[in-house]
Structure 1
Amino acid sequence: MKTIYFVIPCYNEEEVLKETAKRLEEKMESLMENKKISENSRIVFIDDGSKDSTWSIIEELNKLDEKFSGIKLSRNRGHQNALLAGLMTVKEKCDAAISLDADLQDDINVVDKFIDRFIDGCEIVYGVRSDRKMDTIFKRTTAQGFYRVMKVLGVDIVYNHADYRLMSKRSLDELENFKEVNLFLRGIVPLIGFKSDIVLYERNERYAGESKYPLKKMLLFAFEGITSFSVKPIRIVLGVGIVMFLSSLVALIYSLVVWILGKTVHGWTTLVSSVWMLGGLQLLGMGIIGEYIGKIYMESKGRPKFIVEKFINK
């Protein structure tokens, strides 16, 4: 039997955490009874610098039942870093880790299929939403638009997949080799390769509390994904600069013709030509410089992605 760790990042989840723990415990006990996972399997909550009683609840759960473990980060590092902290902390203790959100929107009933695919030889199993009926029209439209834009920009991500996935210890070992500080795991994990599969599921309504991803955060997250995996936006700026520069040459010829024909105001030719020419040259220069800065910036900081303050695991 395989040892499976459930890895759940948490930020201010006091309203939902006990119910999440209850449902996951029931699911884990069912898996153990059916001999799908070993008794060494655990449920690991990662406290991402919460300001409420999230960590106190995690400590309480750990005291009541050894199936619950907790990781406390030294400060808030964001969902992706908290998730990575959990995966890297537990990878030596399990055969595979299943990551999911704490809000109970991910359907834990499909975990059996995750494990079946893993036993059949898949190193990575992606949870993919079968539909977006629960989303508002705005969120559905923007989410689908995001996946299309990412595909156009050449980023290899799984359509309608968030961070509900199973990763084997082997794939977690390879994930550790990715050193970028600006994390976008939905883009990084497919780069690992290895045999993978998808499991379809329907997303539930949030049990309690508020979403930790309002519109502003979703837009920033999307921008992070685009800038972390593609330099095409910079190349678009470069292309615009080239077009503007060529347009300025056309405008220069036109303004000279108008000047020769005597159909212009004194000084107009010089003004128009200089504005178009300088604007094109500036965008061209910014595009070329940005091509290099964009690549350097992603690798230069080298700051730690997370700092684990405590790890409670019986």
Structure 2
Amino acid sequence: MVASEPALSVVIPMYNEESVLPLLVARLRGVLDALGEPYEVVAVDDGSTDRTPVALLAARRQWPQLRVLRLRRNSGHQPALLAGLMRARGGYVATIDADLQDPPETIVEMLRLARGQNLDIVYGIRANRQADTTFKRWTAGVYYRLMRRIVGNDVPAHAGDFRLLSRAAVEALRELPERAPVLRLVVPWLGFPSGEVPFERAERAAGRTKYPLSRMIALAADSVTSFSAAPLRVATWLGLAGVVLCGILVVIALIAYFNGATVSGWPSLYVAVLFLGAVQLLCLGLLGEYVARIYTAVQGRPAYSVVADTDEAESIVDSLR
């Protein structure tokens, strides 16, 4: 059992990270042991289907500061991250992915900056994105520009989920009623004093990415619908534009009729029907996104379900059977 109040907690969501786990343990333990302060590492197994939970238990036997939190099913990156944050006990809590693209050594710089300047939040900022594809750089730029317009300029550019939070910031997150917040937007929205530490992002140490394009699109959609009603207003303006266009077409049709120039006119009719149909479907889709979020909130189902925690009385071994 680790100290009751560690100075630092490191939360790591994991899904099928068996191949990278030995590298992560060796590198992260060296960094944290060198701090000379009590710490804990909260590894959140997000319903892995490989031997990740077994490997975590094996690593824990040699590393008592490692704490294994196992979710009942795969809940997704953000819920897994939230599960670790809600159970972390450190005075400061760092979040980092398991793939070693974010260097564990930067956590020490974050902690030093937070203490030296009395900051509650320190973001890890990518110094550059040269390793990314052109498409990835372009979509990331669009995403962060859009989020800054919606949430405000407090959202740092090129900051993912690699950050350090004070205990006060974590407690503020606990008080939020949202079940599944988008943390990279909610954390800046809290308004705590913050700072930034730049770092060079490396290639994934082992294994395959767990964040394909489909999940990135889903994250962008959740980000927009969680923080803004702007899409609903877009639907309203599109509806008004459709009404105006229909009015113009009606006037043109009447003029043509009184001038005896009425022909079949199928192109204009075809375009009008397509346009109005597209606007209606788009508006229904946008409304559906918000209705779905309301439906999910009314259901009250938790974003994640913890089946075992090695710091609690029940054994995580039972969950592996």
TM-score, length of structure 2 as denominator length: 0.86
Match of 2:110 in 1: 114
Change (3 A) 1:204 1:276: closer
- Partners of 1:234 and 1:174 lie apart in 2 by 29
Q: From 22, 25, 31, give the equivalent of 1:21.
A: 25
Q: Which one of 56, 60, 71 corresponds to residue 69 of structure 2?
A: 71
The SS at the match of 2:34 is: helix
How far did residue 6 of structure 1 move? 0.8
Say whether 1:98 aligns with 2:102. no
Deviations 1:108-139 (A, max 9, x none): 22222211122131111111111102211221
Equivalence for 2:124? 127
Deviation of the 1:213 alpha carbon: 0.8
User: One-letter code of the match for 1:12?
Assistant: N
C-alpha distance after superposition, 1:49-85 (max 9, x if no partner):
0000000011111112212111001111001000100
What is the match of residue 35 of structure 1?
Answer: none
Q: Give me the whole-angstrom Cα distance separating, in 2, the residues matched to 1:283 and 1:215.
A: 24
Aligned pair in 2 of structure 1 residues 278, 174: CA closer, same or farther (>3 Å)? same
Alignment of 1:244-259 (within 5 A): 244-259=242-257
Aligned-partner residue type, residue 180 of structure 1:
E
* Contact 2:78–2:180 (CA under 8 A) maintained in structure 1: no
Q: Is residue 245–residue 280 contact of structure 1 (8 Å, CA) maintained in 2?
A: no
Superposed CA offset, 1:145-177 (max 9, x none) = 211222344455221000001111111111012
Distance 1:266 1:260, change over 3 A: farther
Is the Cα contact below 8 Å between 2:121 and 2:165 reproduced in 1? yes
The answer to whether the 8 A contact 1:106-1:203 is kept is yes
Deviates more, 1:47-56 or 1:240-249: 240-249
CA RMSD of aligned residues (A): 2.9
Q: Is the 8 A contact 1:181 1:305 kept in 2?
A: yes
What number of residue pairs does the alignment pair up? 306
Conserved 8 A contact 1:68-1:313: no
| Alpha-carbon shift at residue 225 of structure 1 (Å) | 1.3
State the match for 1:222 in structure 2.
220
Per-residue deviation, 1:8: 0.4
Q: Distance in 2 between matches of 1:27 and 1:244?
A: 60
Aligned 8 A contact 1:70 1:311 in 2? yes
**Any gaps of 5 or more consecutive residues in structure 2?**
313-321
Q: Say whether the 8 Å CA contact 2:121–2:166 is kept in structure 1.
A: yes
Equivalent in the alignment of 1:146: 143
Structure 1 residue 300: deviation in Å? 2.8
1:172-221: CA deviations, max 9, x gaps? Answer: 11101222234311111111112111111110111110111112221222
User: Are the counterparts in 1 of residues 238 and 279 from structure 2 also a CA contact under 8 Å?
Assistant: no
CA distance in structure 2 between the aligned counterparts of 1:252 and 1:201, rounded to whole angstroms: 60
Structure 1 length as normaliser, TM-score? 0.88
User: Are 2:60 and 1:62 aligned?
Assistant: yes
Name the % identity. Answer: 36
What does the per-residue CA deviation read over 1:243-284, in whole Å, with 9 as the maximum and x for residues that have no partner?
11011111111110100011003797x968995997599579
* 1:11-55 superposed Cα distances (whole Å, 9 cap, x missing partner): 0000001110110100011111xxxxx23x111211000000000
SS at match of 2:175: coil
Post-superposition Cα deviations, 1:268-304, rounded to whole Å, max 9, x if no partner, equal 7x96899599759957985996697477457433211
Aligned to 1:31, what secondary structure does the other structure show? Answer: coil
